[in-house]
């Protein structure tokens, strides 16, 4: 009898919602991978005081019942999603749960063009080289009260290689999405170099949001990472979904 595929938890990035995976999810499900894509608190627009810990908690709320039911998990995180996604793995690997007599666990993780926080105690804003508090300086974002909202410059930043009609649809949604700043200003207490499971970083070579040089520098902070490359911009789930499926399957079956 063939082994059951692990459950894929897709973690979206800042300014986005789970719909960013709408082209990817059916391709993975067609290969018999269960897929769950939670809505993070940071871009829900319900509270300006949301912090990184709130996003970590949401990921764990999805993961823990699945693991308790004996499911193995592969976390697939995009952009900012790599920070709470990585933090959610702490103490939840298959090996760590087995020691406690618990079933299931996280078996692997994929970072997709993520901005990596290089060491514990730093914030995402610190990794970006800006101050620890307040909104980060992003020309594709307008500050509206306690939130950040994408402006028209974001189209070339996030969707530079995405089919025009898909990019336009995403812009309709993301320019209405309110992003809380607290997630960028929260100290990170578990980072990629702390992972004890196989972890892969996918470089997106034509990324206008996290330039390839930044990706390479950030990934170097975690020497344990397995490295993959693609020619996509910042959103390969929209522009190169077949290539991304190939990499996800490789990670899941590794």
Q: What pLDDT, on the 0 to 100 scale, is given for residue 132? A: 54
Q: What pLDDT, on the 0 to 100 scale, is given for residue 224? A: 92
In angstroms, the CA 119 to CA 239 distance is: 31
CB 215 within 8 A of CB 207: yes
pLDDT in tens, 78-123: 999 999 999 999 999 999 999 999 999 999 999 999 988 888 988 8
Model-level pTM?
0.95
* Domain coordinates in residue numbering, the chain: 7-253
CB 251 within 8 A of CB 202: no
Torsion of CA 178, 206, 79, 137, to 10 degrees: -50
Q: What pLDDT, on the 0 to 100 scale, is given for residue 181? A: 87
Q: What pLDDT, on the 0 to 100 scale, is given for residue 123? A: 86
CB 204 within 8 A of CB 159: no
What are phi and psi for residue 84, nearest 5 degrees?
Answer: -70, -30
DSSP state of 245: H
In angstroms, the CA 177 to CA 189 distance is: 27
Look up the CATH superfamily of 7-253. Alpha/Beta hydrolase fold, catalytic domain (3.40.50.1820)
Question: Which parts of the chain have pLDDT scores under 50?
Answer: 1
Q: What pLDDT, on the 0 to 100 scale, is given for residue 120? A: 93
DSSP state of 32: T
Q: How far is CA 74 from the centre of its chain?
A: 12
Q: What pLDDT, on the 0 to 100 scale, is given for residue 134? A: 54
Three-state secondary structure string covering 96-113: HHHHCCCCCEEEEEEEEC
Positive or negative, the Cα torsion across 174, 52, 240, 152? Answer: positive
- Percent of the chain at pLDDT > 70 equals 96
């Amino acid at each position: 009898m063939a082994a059951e595929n692990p459950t894929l938890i897709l973690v979206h990035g800042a300014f986005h919602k789970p719909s960013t995976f709408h082209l990817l999810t059916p391709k993975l499900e067609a290969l018999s991978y269960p897929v769950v894509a939670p809505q993070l608190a940071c871009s829900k627009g319900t509270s300006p005081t949301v912090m990184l810990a709130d996003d970590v908690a949401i990921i764990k709320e999805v993961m823990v019942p699945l693991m308790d039911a004996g499911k193995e998990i592969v976390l697939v995180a995009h952009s900012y999603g790599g920070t709470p996604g990585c933090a959610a793995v702490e103490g939840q690997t298959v090996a760590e749960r087995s020691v406690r007599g618990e079933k299931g666990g996280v078996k692997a993780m994929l970072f997709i063009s993520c901005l990596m926080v290089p060491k514990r105690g730093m914030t995402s804003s610190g990794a970006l080289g800006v101050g620890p508090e307040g909104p980060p300086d992003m020309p594709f974002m307008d500050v509206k009260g306690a939130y950040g909202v994408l402006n028209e410059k974001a189209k070339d930043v996030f969707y530079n290689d995405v089919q025009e009609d898909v990019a336009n649809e995403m812009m309709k949604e993301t320019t209405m999405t309110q992003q809380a700043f607290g997630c960028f200003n929260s100290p990170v207490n578990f980072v990629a170099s702390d992972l004890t499971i196989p972890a892969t970083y996918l470089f997106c070579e034509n990324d206008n949001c996290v330039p390839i040089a930044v990706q390479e520098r950030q990934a170097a902070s975690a020497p344990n990472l397995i490295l993959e490359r693609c020619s996509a911009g910042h959103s390969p789930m929209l522009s190169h979904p077949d290539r991304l499926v190939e990499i996800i399957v490789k990670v899941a079956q590794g």
